[in-house]
Chains A and B, each alone.
Chain A
Amino acid sequence: MGIFLTLALNGIVNGSLYFLMAAGLTLIFGLMRVVNFAHGGLYQWGAYLATFVFATTDNFVLALAVGMLIAIILGIVMERGLISFVYHNENGQLLVTMGIMLILTELIKVPFGPSELSSNTPTDLSNSWLVGQVVIVQYQLFMIGASIVVFILLLWILHKTRLGMIVRAGVYNPELVEACGIAIGRVFTIVFALGAGLAGLAGALAGPYLGAVTPTMGFDMQLSAFIIVVVGGLGSLTGSFIGSMIIGILTAVVSFYFSSLAVLVNVVVMVIVLLIRPQGLFGERESAT
């Protein structure tokens, strides 16, 4: 029982991290029909910069802020400078974002080197408690809390603000949004920056959780995030949340028993979902437009 609860807790923590990634991917896809294959690169930059800032200043809030900020800046540059040229060209988007992914993953090695960089947990968040047979680490709770706050915040933005209304409208009918006198290009940039910021935040949070940042962490995380959005349904925020928890817990359980097979199990889950419900658990069927 103790093991089960521990694994469940670990799974939820994994899921929290996944959610921050998947939420950005799904928001960007929902509005712009772009799957950002450079999303893991933003996560990676957030992770490295936050680790670096925390190591030099010992200020964790600053580290999180810098991690998010770098990802937002990179996101805006990407969207304005490169991706906006390939809207309506699906394969072009795939190639361009993957090209950016290669650049981001490789460029990080120039200042920080190709080997891993250890990442410390702030002392204020390093407490742990033994509850029953389960060890609860304060930092894990912090991560879960952060992702729940983000989830609620995103739901609030989407359903209670004018920006959210425009985004929801744009998902269905971007042309009509423009006919209402709204510069949809600017909304695209805002949403892209928001998604990028979440990836940066996920990276910044991941460093201390994983204990180290590595050059392959972006690709690995991106892979899980893709599986999650496919399972949950591309474009659905709730789907991303549920999908993140499913894959998070599954990864924790499977890696405990068969260390390297987690990816395999995740892919199998994805395949099963696709066979039963091609649009994902919460995705809506593609319409003609």
Chain B
Amino acid sequence: MSSLLEVADLHVNIGGYQILQGVSLAVPEHAVTVLLGRNGAGKTTTMRSIMGYVRSAAGEIRWRGERLQGLRPYQVARRGIGYMPEEGHLFANLTVQDNLAMVARKSASYESRLERALTLFPDLRIAWSRRAGTLSGGQKQMLGLARLLVAAPALMLIDEPSKGLSPGMVEVLAGALSVLREATTILLVEQNFRLASRVGDHFSVIDEGRTCLSGSMEQLVARVDWQQQYLGLTATREEV
């Protein structure tokens, strides 16, 4: 099992608070790894550290063996890592067309990738010249995913795409994620365990800034006690 991205014992401090205190991850190629954990556990900070938005205090982030720390986010992106943040994952004042054009200059391969994205998300073709800010919640998520598809990175970091979506839209999202995973490697933050268990191959649980459990998704699905202990799934129902 070769890992595309490896995070080892990552520590991050923000404003005097220790947000991450030992996150370790291995993201194997051609698979979906899901980051799980409670709100505020440090999942988003982990992604932002990988992208280079947040400086790490200790530990290592390696991409195909190369150390990523110290690179600017655009340099990380150019090495083949795409990022869809939970909030602000689109340019609200730009049209759908321009949102997609942001990731690449026009070229033949761009056109074919664009065509594939629009086939997957036909809504976007209809909303082609609308401002992204006027799209519905589900369409916004589609646009975010479509931008990743067009950028075609080797690794996609996707932060809570299902947040705020209706059950019907979550179905569409699940379908889209399974198409994405055919083409690339994904590191996904997902609170919706049903969705996570459907699309995920591997998982890591972060709790209070530390990785406390990793393994294959089948294992986690089988172990109801783990789900209770680490995800608080059945124990505290109101959190789900």
Residues of A with Cβ closer than 8 Å to B? 162, 165-166, 168-169, 171-173, 175-185, 289
Contact = CB atoms under 8 A, between A and B. Distances in A.
A146 B92 CA distance: 33
B88 A176 contact: yes
B93 A171 contact: yes
B198 interface: no
B46 to A, nearest CB: 15
B176 interface: no
A80 to B, nearest CB: 15
B53 interface: yes
B53 A175 contact: yes
Given A162-B105, A179-B83, A180-B102, A173 B91 contact: yes
Interface of B: 51, 53, 72-74, 77-78, 82-83, 85, 88-94, 98, 101-103, 105, 147, 151
A176 B72 contact: no
8 contacts: A168-B91, A169-B93, A171-B93, A175-B88, A179-B73, A179-B85, A182-B102, A289-B88
B66 to A, nearest CB: 16
Nearest to B77: A181
A31 to B, nearest CB: 13
A37 B51 CA distance: 33
A168 B93 CA distance: 8
Contacts of A172: 91-94
A111 B77 CA distance: 48
A176 B73 CA distance: 9
B94 A168 contact: yes
B103 A181 contact: yes
Contacts of B85: 175-176, 179
A83 to B, nearest CB: 17
A168 B102 CA distance: 11
Given A162-B105, A175-B88, A183 B72 contact: yes
Contacts of A182: 74, 102
Given A183-B74, A289-B88, 4 more contacts: A166-B102, A168-B93, A169-B98, A181-B151
Nearest to A170: B91
A165 B73 contact: no
B197 to A, nearest CB: 28
Contacts of A184: 74
B101 A173 contact: no
A168 B92 CA distance: 10
Contacts of B73: 175, 178-179
B102, B147, B151: most-surrounded residue (chain A CB, <10 A): B102
